[in-house]
A and B are shown apart, each in its own frame.
Chain A
Amino acid sequence: MATLEIKDLHVSVVSEDAPKEILKGVDLTIKAGETHAIMGPNGSGKSTLSYAIAGHPKYTITSGTVTLDGEDVLEMSVDERARAGLFLAMQYPVEVPGVSMSNFLRTAATAVRGEAPNLRHWVKEVKGAMADLDIDPAFAERSVNEGFSGGEKKRHEILQLGLLQPKVAILDETDSGLDVDALRVVSEGVNRFKASGEVGVMLITHYTRILKYIEPDFVHVFANGRIVESGGRELADQLESEGYVKYTGTKEAAALS
């Protein structure tokens, strides 16, 4: 039973002059089988939360703890976190010129699984996973994310999610920039991952529309660097109709009207 536990997390980013505190005491526990939607206006610190958990060097943890099944995540290097079972689907996946998608996927799978996957099974597995996400097989020989459209990048993030089978997946605005078809395909990919085992999902989003496809067990409103309200599905519906104005004082829609 995987459990990701975040306690009183404070995170700063090193900017040009002084460090700036972005996360101001985040408490959140995600257990296997649970999907938590983190919803919040732009600039509330949602993405910082995801990057801090994944270990991006730009962010400094000033206090608090993050544990995965009791193990101290903050003590681990970025790759150790991934091998321990954390996965971050990034809002802006990075291009790596000259490294083919197939080489990258196999290297990552080898690292996470602790041994090189059997070649014949692997080829079949990747082909199947790509077909499930409507990804043209030709992408396997292209450089990682290079020249991919926004939607293609997101599909490949979910492809990696499916192949690497983490314990807890953090999806950072995976829905942003997707058209209706892509949103459906990507959501189905996330739902397949959820159904594949006892896994936890942290779904970070600005808009409620992805929640029509991926059913959250918990909804948290994120504002000004912390969770300000938690509830169930009904909280998302409330955000859909009222927006974030109650939390920010400014009008910002949570639904696409």
Chain B
Amino acid sequence: MAALSTKPHSHGAVVPVSSRAAHFTSYDVNAFEVPGGREEIWRFTPLKRLAGLHSGAAATGSAVVEVNAAPGVTAETVGRDDSRLGTAGVPGDRVAAQAYTSFVDATVVTLPGDVKSEPTTVTVTGAGEGSVAYGHVQVKASQFAEGTVILDYRGSGAYADNVEILVADGAHLTVIAIHDWADDAVHVSQHHAKLGRDATLRHTVVTLGGNVVRVTPVVQYAGRGGDAELFGLYFADAGQHQEHRPFIDHGQPNCRSNVVYKGALQGEGAHTVWIGDVLIRVAAEGTETFELNRNLILTDGARADSVPNLEIETGEIEGAGHASATGRFDDEQLFYLQARGIPEDQARRLVVRGFFQELIAKIAVPEVRERLEAAIEAELEAVGA
């Protein structure tokens, strides 16, 4: 059924140059060519603004990683030689391989098995404006563990990292990655999630700050019954580039995935990119998957690219679908709210808040939810909407 991937798509999705199955991966940076910008996986990314992360820039500093671990959760700083590292997945592009080749030590957070843990926060603060740093984080939920890990990225500088997410059999793990960088920051990140039998991952990416942020979450299944929900919420202002490239690799039977990314854009040169890849391999019978991307363009001069790709190698699936829509503010909604006396600025805020509400409501950590609501409010204040 590989022919599916070479047929023109009926509603505008771009046909991948090659199957996701043939996508090259390696731990070694030198195994990758330096990208020139025309490659399929780099064509949307402003390479000139990556501070050399893609072309061999050496580390000139290091990010500060602080872990606020919940009771029972262990947090370790380990060397490159720790045998647990690199087990969740292999870097899929040159920057991820550069980060893997260059990191000095890694942070390993382990949730204990068979108990429910309180949220743990890993705060990564950039090495500072003008500096380059590489990092590595591994989050592991042991068998039947249940808990939440928040990755909180902030500060300045250029940073590339790999985040390993191991969800053991029967574990329920929530990961929330918040990219709330300073205006100068550049961050290229690959997340490698591996789900065991009957494991559940709820993964949320939030991107607010930074000059360029590119996040590639990859999900693989190691057993039947895995369930992954990938949510994304982003808000791009003038000059910001935010790129999200979720890839769900269904290689096991009876697994489920659901991807929902929503973004708002405002200001000249605000650019968001969403590439949603789903591959259902021959072995993945009984797969159920859906991916959705919605973009709300609030002002002129902003651009949203949205490309869903779905490759299906077996017909024996429960269901597979995708949807993508990018639109301007709905004037009818504004009119309706205003016709009830609500001033225009307040009406706009209600509509934008409403747009994100579905995702915010799914964030189970009240502090994070409130922080996001406040951040969206602040973004809207900034443009005077």
Which of A's residues lie within 8 Å of B, judged by CB?
54-57, 77-79, 81-83, 87-88, 90, 93-99, 103-104, 107-108, 111-112, 143-144, 160, 164
Residue from A54, A77, A90, A104 within 8 A of B337 (CB atoms): A104
Q: How many residues of B contact A (CB 8 A)?
A: 24
B340 touches A99 (CB 8 A): no
A111 touches B346 (CB 8 A): yes
Question: Which residues of A have CB within 8 Å of B358?
Answer: 97-98
Q: How far is the CB of A47 from chain B (nearest CB, A)?
A: 14
Interface SS of B by simple majority: helix
CB within 8 Å of A: which of B329-355? 330-333, 335-344, 346-347, 350-351, 353-355
B340 touches A93 (CB 8 A): no
Residue from A54, A97, A99, A107 within 8 A of B339 (CB atoms): A54
A111 touches B341 (CB 8 A): yes
Central interface residue in B340, B350, B355, by most chain A CB within 10 Å: B340
A160 touches B357 (CB 8 A): no
- Contacts A98-B356, A99-B351, A99-B353 known; A107 to B346 CB distance under 8 Å? yes
Cα-based distance from A87 to B330 in the complex (angstroms): 21
Residue from A79, A90, A95 within 8 A of B341 (CB atoms): A79
Count how many pairs of residues, one from A and one from B, have CB atoms less than 8 Å apart in the complex: 81
B340 touches A96 (CB 8 A): no
Smallest CB-CB separation from A84: which chain B residue? B341
Question: Which residues of A have CB within 8 Å of B339?
Answer: 54-55, 78-79, 81-82, 87-88, 90
Q: How far is the CB of B42 from chain A (nearest CB, A)?
A: 34
A164 touches B341 (CB 8 A): yes
Cα-based distance from A57 to B346 in the complex (angstroms): 18
CB within 8 Å of A: which of B347-371? 347, 350-351, 353-358
Cα-based distance from A254 to B347 in the complex (angstroms): 38
B335 touches A83 (CB 8 A): no
CB within 8 Å of A: which of B42-97? none
B344 touches A98 (CB 8 A): no
- Contacts A97-B354, A98-B356, A143-B354 known; A164 to B336 CB distance under 8 Å? no
Question: Which residues of A have CB within 8 Å of B341?
Answer: 79, 82-83, 108, 111-112, 164
A96 touches B337 (CB 8 A): yes
- Contacts A78-B338, A90-B336, A104-B337 known; A99 to B344 CB distance under 8 Å? no
- Contacts A57-B331, A93-B336, A96-B337 known; A79 to B344 CB distance under 8 Å? yes
A82 touches B340 (CB 8 A): yes
Question: Which residues of A have CB within 8 Å of B338?
Answer: 55, 77-79, 82
Residue from A56, A82, A94 within 8 A of B333 (CB atoms): A94
A98-B355, A99-B350, A111-B346 given; 14 more Cβ-contact pairs under 8 Å: A55-B338, A77-B338, A79-B341, A94-B330, A94-B332, A94-B333, A96-B336, A96-B354, A107-B346, A111-B342, A112-B340, A112-B341, A143-B354, A164-B341
Smallest CB-CB separation from A98: which chain B residue? B354
Cα-based distance from A108 to B343 in the complex (angstroms): 9
Q: How far is the CB of B296 from chain A (nearest CB, A)?
A: 11
Central interface residue in B331, B337, B346, by most chain A CB within 10 Å: B337
Central interface residue in A79, A111, A112, A164, by most chain B CB within 10 Å: A79
Question: Which residues of B have CB within 8 Å of A107?
Answer: 342, 346, 350
A104 touches B343 (CB 8 A): no
Cα-based distance from A96 to B358 in the complex (angstroms): 12
The 9 closest A-B pairs by CB, nearest first: A98-B354, A98-B357, A82-B341, A94-B336, A108-B340, A78-B338, A111-B341, A112-B341, A99-B354
